[in-house]
Each structure stands twice: as C-alpha cells, then as structure tokens.
Amino acid sequence: MSTVNRNRVKPAVCGGEKAVTLAMPVWPVAGELEVERMTQVVRSGKWSWLGAHEMAFSEEFAKFIGTRHSLCLANGTVTLRCALQAVGVEPGDEVIVPGLTWVATAQAALDVGANVVLVDIDPETLCLDPVAVEAAITPKTKAIIPVHLYGCMCDMDALGALARKHHLKIVEDVAHQHGSEWRGRRAGSLGDAGSYSFQQSKILTSGEGGAITCDDDEVYRTCFALKQVGWMPDPEAAAEPGQAPKLVPGNHYGHNYRITEMQAVLLRGGLSQLDDQNRRREAAAERIRAALEKGGGPLRLPRKDPRVTRQSYYCLTMLYDGPSNGLSREAYVWALNAEGLPAVGAYWPVYRSPLLNLYDRTSPVPFRDPGTIQDYGRLRLPNVEKAVKDRAVMLLHHHLLGNDEYIDQLIAAIRKVNDNLAAVATAWSEKEAGKS
C-alpha cells in the first residue's frame, strides 16, 4: 500500500488523515425573506407586544403541530413552567421527570413549587421508561413530563394510558423534536400541552424563545395570562386571524415572557423550511443506520419504533456497545472527533446538576421539607448512569443537513475507527499515560 493510502486508512489518532474533509453544515440558517422582513420590522417601529409576525407565527405553528392554540414565550423553560401551572400543577404536587434531560425540565417544575420525582429511562430510546413512571406514581402525582430527547420519542401509548388510569396531566417537552410524529400526530399535540424551545441550537430557532401548544381554551388563556403580566384573551371577543386578541384581566399572577417581532420573523422563516429540513435529516439518519447495520461494529442507532411515523432530530442518538471491545466510550468518541466527526456524550443526569444542590438555599420559591422530596444527591438511576457514562453518542442535527458526500464521510469516519479499535485503544492508553 502506498504511503498516501496507508495514511487514509490509519486512524487520525494514530497519525492518519482525517476521514471528514468537507466543511460541516452551518447552523443556524436564515434566508433573504427573513432579512427583508427584519428590515421592515426595524423600520416599522413595532418591535414587540403581540405584533403581526408573532400572531402569524402562532397560527402557523398551531397548524403545523395540529393543535387549536399556540403562543410564543421567552424561552423553553418558562413555557414548561407556565404549561405546568395552566394544567393545574400546584405547590406540593409531584411531577415525574426523566433523570436524563436538560436540567431546565426539572427546574421548571421546581419553580412552580412542585416536587420533582426523577425516574429512569428506557435504555434503547433514552426517554422516560413507562414502567419506571408507573412505579413512581403516588396519590400526590399530578403530571408527567415526557421529554422527546435527542432523536427518539417517548412511548406515548404507554404514558397516555398511565395518565388516563391515574388522572394525570401530560406536558410534553418538545424542545428537541419540532415535527416528530407518533402514529401520525405531532409531538406537542399528544398530551394536555406541548412545550418548545427556540434557543439557538434548536431545529427551529430565533436565538432564544419558546412556544406552548394546546387544544384546551382554558389552558391557552391561562398560559397567556402567565406570559402577559396577567392579561388574557377576552372569551367574548373572537380574535381576527393574524390580529392580537382583545385582552382582559386574567385569572393568574403573570409575568412578562413575551418575544419580539425580530424573533417572530426568524421563526416564520425557520418554520417554512422545517419540514424539508426534517426530511433531509431523516434521510441522512437512515443512510447512517443502513451503513452501521451493514458494517457491524460497536455503534448502532436505536431500534426503529413503527409508531414513530416521523422522527425529527435535535441530535442523532447513537448507542455504543463498549464492553464488547474493551474500548471506553470516551476513547471511541475521542477517535471519532479526531476523524472530524464531532460526536458528543449525553447531558449529565439531572440529579447531578449543581443547580439542584443550590435550589433550596437560593431559589425564591419557598423551601420545602427535605423529607418529602427525593434525595437527589444520592439518587442513581441505572439506565441514566449507563447512558451518560458508557452508551450515548450524540451527533448534533445540523450535521444531518450535509449532502450525501458529507454523510458518507461521517460514515467513513465511523468505519475507520471500527476497523482499528485495537490501535485506537493503544493510542488512548498512550495519551492517558502521557497525562500522568
């Protein structure tokens, strides 16, 4: 073999060439329409307060998700807070949250005074395990927050059945999966309310921002009051399409969680592209799935659930089987990164978040009896632990927007590492030894 060819097959961590040479797709993206509309907004003097673009986006997003209502809020944390309050969660109620999610999911429930009960995840999807949920239900349980995490949906049949059986509310956290579908119905329309984040890394983004979707008029009106300093749409005056509703004093102590017209412009542009981008990501994920299945090796995609009729991806979830080859997930990901495939691990377990230790000392929400809450400091959920330490390998969604040539380079990076596990293990040991 020539030196050039040898360098192509040699892992990058052993001095070979990188497998990925094409530039990674950029994120976020926006088009000329957004630039044009943004200019109009800047010149219009109407920059905030339920403007035309915010109202139009709210209608367009409700239509996209398939709910009667949608409203925009400042971020995907206050959306959860307001949705929980609107479905009736009160201080002292228990809310079931997965042990693996971005810490904001738990924070939102803590901030409405609820006791957060963290439960284990399904090792295949890394989403809430319905069996663990059922085991955690007590007479105080009021709501479940299914988080459709990374690139898999929660089992909404099982969670819906539990909610009906135990009279619980469901607030879906859809921060990661705008556009996913369960049996043909969109995530965010499957429970009592859906919560979305539009933060910069998300697949629909305005830099920061969030939305709530729901069918129930009272849930909608209460969320409105919570974001609009206590003012809600007048039930006697139907809003004209695209117009801000007439507001009357509402039923809840609310805050200012509004968005600006500039954000709404970006959201309308992003939404117009979302279906197409989701389809491209789905096709790329299937290309990677097929290649990993054909090539074998320690990395695979989660099994497909036929009830998931559309999968949208904040990240491509991949599962690493480390013990079978003796190479840690950390070392494997290190080797992928060196090839130019910027895979990462999962979030920390929620119970390890430093924020949870600060909560009762520094949050303005009244202190609660430690005897009634989970001991987060000591909690260890086995599937969460395993996912975080050994199994989860994530690839952020914008990589899936690359063309076939780029996706094939990502696949080549994985193949190269898989074909050279022993050499990677040696390189890793040398690196680690060099540290000491």
Ligand X SMILES: Cc1ncc(COP(=O)(O)O)c(C=O)c1O
Interface with ligand X (CB under 6 A): 75-77, 101-102, 104-105, 147, 173, 175-176, 197, 199, 210
* Both tokens assigned to 57: 């986006």
Closest approach, Cβ 116 to ligand X, in A, equals 13
Conformation bin of residue 340: beta by default, left when phi > 0, alpha when psi is -120 to 50: left
| Residues 6 or more apart in contact with residue 389 via CB below 8 angstroms | 329
Query: In the complex with ligand X, which residue's Cβ is closer, 100 or 285?
Result: 100
Question: What's the min distance (Å) between Cβ of 414 and ligand X?
Answer: 25
Distance of alpha carbon 132 from alpha carbon 158, whole angstroms: 11
Q: Which residue, judged by CB position, is nearest to ligand X in the bound state?
A: 76
**What is the DSSP annotation of 171-212?**
EEE-TT-TT-EETTEETTSSSSEEEEE--TTSSS-SSS-EEE
Encoded tokens for 170:
């469901």
Which residue lies nearer to ligand X by CB, 258 or 416?
258
From CA 7, how far away is CA 14, in angstroms rounded?
9
Tell the smallest beta-carbon distance from residue 174 to ligand X (Å).
8
C-beta of 176 vs 221, nearer to ligand X: 176
Which lies closer to ligand X via its Cβ, residue 77 or residue 418?
77
Shortest distance in whole angstroms from residue 24 CB to ligand X: 20
**Are the C-beta atoms of 296 and 325 separated by less than 8 Å?**
no
Min dist CB 16 to ligand X, Å, is: 35
What is the smallest separation between the CB atom of 143 and ligand X, expressed in angstroms? 15
For helices 404-419 and 421-435, give the axis angle rounded to 10 degrees: 80
- The residue among 398 and 416 lying less far from ligand X, judged by its C-beta, is 398
Nearer to ligand X, 76 or 160 (CB): 76
What's the CA gap between 211 and 229, in Å, rounded?
A: 16
* Minimal distance, residue 37 CB to ligand X, in Å: 22
Contact assessment for residue 231 and residue 252, using Cβ atoms and an 8 Å cutoff: no
CB of 363 to ligand X, least distance (A): 16
SS3 content of the chain, % helix, strand, coil (to 5): 45, 15, 40
Judge whether 282 and 313 are in contact, CB under 8 Å.
yes
Q: Hey, is 411 helix, strand or coil?
A: helix
* Least Å from the CB of residue 199 to ligand X: 4
Q: State which residue, 177 or 418, has the beta carbon closest to ligand X.
A: 177
Give the residue carrying structure tokens 């201080």: 91
In angstroms, the Cα distances linking 365 to 91, 107, 108, 230 are 9, 11, 11, 19
The Cα-based distances of 286 to 96, 198, 297, 410, 411 in angstroms read 32, 26, 17, 13, 12
Q: Which is nearer to ligand X, 115 or 199 (CB)?
A: 199
Nearest alpha carbon to residue 146 among 158, 137, 135: 158
Nearer to ligand X, 182 or 406 (CB): 182
Minimum Å distance from CB 332 to ligand X? 24
Rounded CA separation 198/61 (Å): 12
Residue 350 or residue 424: which is nearer to ligand X going by CB? 350
